[in-house]
Amino acid sequence: MNAPLFFTMAVKHTLVPSERIERAILRIRGQNVMLDADLAELYGVETRVLVQAVRRNIERFPADFMFQLAPDEFGILRSQFVISSQWGGRRYPPYAFTEHGVAMLSSVLRSQRAVQVNIEIMRTFVRLRRLLASHEEMRRRLDELERRYDKRFRVVFEAIKQLMAPPQGKQARIGFRAGEGK
């Protein structure tokens, strides 16, 4: 008797789509960061709860893990995101967390959701770093090709310029002139 075989497929289920995380990563002060409000939303907690947990464990968040935006940076950020409801009522500039700061958040926020979301955020940061590295590699290769082919094409362009330049010296005129042939 043949029993039916059942196969279970591993479904990749994430709490948060990676596109949502990618949109939340910003470039501030030359670093890829995520803001406290975006992280709080992803973790499913209020922003004040996240900030409070960070302040209680401030020794875990040195300046290269987290920094608070300056008022002018906050103003620029608010003007870029025209949606005032997201920023309305906020009394202080947001905190920006670098990749290391986000990793440290998982030890401060101990919920199962925070751990799972944190894993997705770390994967997104890694993908972003790989993408940037591949773009840098492509730019380097393009520069190398340009240098290599500039030398080869310089010879071709010089030959074309010589062919296009007006001839030097006196040339015999072409055509018939009256009284010259006798």
Q: Tens digit of pLDDT for each residue in 123-146?
A: 888 888 888 777 777 777 777 776
Rounded CA gap, 107 and 44, in Å? 16
Q: For 57-70, write each residue's pLDDT tens digit.
A: 999 999 999 999 99
Position 180 in a domain: no
The average confidence (pLDDT) of the chain is: 78
Number of structural domains in the chain: 1
Position 76 in a domain: yes
Query: Is the distance from CB of 66 to CB of 57 less than 8 angstroms?
Result: no
Model confidence at 42: pLDDT above 60 = yes
pLDDT at 69: 92
Q: Kindly indicate the confidence band of residue 84, based on its pLDDT and cuts at 50, 70 and 90.
A: very low
Look up residue 16 and give its two tokens: 């948060």
Rounded CA gap, 96 and 66, in Å? 6
Q: Which residues in 101-130 are b (16+ Cβ under 10 Å) and which e?
A: bbebbbebbeeeebebbbebbeebbeeeee
Question: How far out from the chain centre does Cα 182 lie?
Answer: 83
Rounded CA gap, 53 and 45, in Å? 11
Q: Which CATH number characterizes residue 121's domain?
A: 3.10.260
Closest CA to 39 of 99, 126, 82, 129: 99
- Across-strand partners of 67? 96
> Percent of the chain scored above 90 by pLDDT?
21
Position 124 in a domain: yes
Position 100 in a domain: yes
Position 148 in a domain: no
pLDDT at 151: 65
Position 9 in a domain: no
pLDDT at 11: 38
Q: Which domain holds residue 49?
A: 18-132
Position with higher pLDDT, 91 vs 167? 91
Position 143 in a domain: no
pLDDT at 143: 72
Q: Kindly indicate the confidence band of residue 181, based on its pLDDT and cuts at 50, 70 and 90.
A: low
pLDDT at 83: 47
